[in-house]
Chains A and B, each alone.
Chain A
Amino acid sequence: MLDYVIGKYNFWIYAVLMMIGLYAMMGKKNLVKKLIGMNIFQSAIILFYISTGVKTGGATVPILMGHAQEHGHQAIDVAGYLNPLPHVLMLTAIVVSIATTGVALAIIILIYRRYNTLEENEILKIRKDTGV
């Protein structure tokens, strides 16, 4: 049981990072700090998916070794290569995360131009005082 817990330490680190990001998104008042928390949250999830593709026992990067043309009809030894499916999925996730970050930063700049502050409680107070 202890061996099982320690052997999967990558998943524990993933959970800790995800909770750090969630705390920053919910507990911090500054909008840029919330966005930094969202970035940490997203890369924690990517870390989880990459960790599921890892194989122990000498598995290498999924590039076909040897003479693929000559032995094309033979079965490929799957245990010798890492699982490339989570890698490909997470490539898309990285690009999506940078796109959402760009849109959020644009919205933050617009909020700063209108309210002249980035603190969430001050923005809510200004909105309440002016009755908007």
Chain B
Amino acid sequence: MIWQLDLILCIFVIICAIAAITIKDLLAAVIILGAYSFFMCLLWTEMGAVDVAFTEASVGAGVGTVLFIAAVSKTKRRSKD
């Protein structure tokens, strides 16, 4: 575990989380959530949890983002907050 890389990834994760809940365009928020999931996956690889990391990359970031995009395209893209 390299603590410099760990700290940089943690800061990126927090930036992505704040951006995902503040942005008004729902499609952009969902894509940023996918980026958040990939940063989380890098963080877990770096901590040595390789099995969790590739489950998160395929299931969390891949399938989750596809489900969110499908739901947003079926409903409204604009959000008021």
Q: Which residues of A contact B (CB under 8 A)?
A: 9-10, 13, 16-17, 20-21, 23-24, 28-30, 32-33, 35-37, 39-40, 43, 46-47, 50-51, 53-54, 56, 59-61, 82, 86-88, 90-91, 94-95, 97-98, 101-102, 105, 108-109, 112, 117-119
Contacts and interface: CB of A to CB of B under 8 A. Distances in A.
A32 B14 contact: no
Secondary structure of the A contact surface, majority rule: helix
A87 B70 CA distance: 30
A109 B71 contact: yes
Contacts, number: 127
B43 interface: yes
Nearest to A56: B1
A36 B81 CA distance: 13
Nearest to A24: B21
Interface of B: 1, 6-7, 10, 13-14, 17-18, 20-21, 26, 29-30, 33, 36-37, 40, 43-44, 47-52, 55-56, 59-60, 63-64, 67-68, 70-72, 74-76, 79-81
B30 A59 contact: no
B57 to A, nearest CB: 10
B47 A51 contact: yes
B17 A10 contact: no
Contacts of B21: 20, 23-24, 28, 33, 36-37, 40
B5 to A, nearest CB: 13
A20 B26 contact: no
A91 B44 CA distance: 12
A105 B59 CA distance: 16
A124 to B, nearest CB: 14
Contact of B60 (A47, A53, A97): A97
